[in-house]
Amino acid sequence: MRAVIQRVSAASCTVDGNITGAIANGFLVLLGIEENDHQEDLEWLAQKIVNMRIFADEDDLMNRSLTDTNGNILLISQFTLFAATKKGNRPGFTRAARPDKAVPLYEAMITQLSALLNKPVATGIFGADMKVSLVNDGPVTILIDTKNKE
């Protein structure tokens, strides 16, 4: 799994003119799932996201997590995070999980993050043409790959 975490002061997702999820302060998380991802990847990544200390403390140092700040998450499925770009100019997406594998893991990630935060996670709609808006705070953007834990 790959996640792009963006610290935001606001973010929302719209599908067909309807807002499917919106948050104030917190993280916009773009989540890519590949064919060889498993429950262990999901659990590790969910813990990492919730405990990522990239909010300012009283000394203006990045030292506080979502749980410390009562932050929110907007979770967006993003198969393009596994784009293969080495050959030519048109990316390939063969490493991205097919929906029959990706949808259950995406839904499990929603459940896991909600449980860790003790509140609902805002979402987009898997596979939909989504319009995502955000106010990137900082900007702070972090990339995490579960296949690169070391």
Active site residues: 80
Q: Which residues contact 23 (CB under 8 A, 6 or more apart)?
A: 8, 10, 11, 12, 72, 73, 74, 122
Angle, CA 130 vertex, CA 16 and CA 80 arms, to 5°: 155
Residues 132 and 76: beta-carbon distance below 8 Å: yes
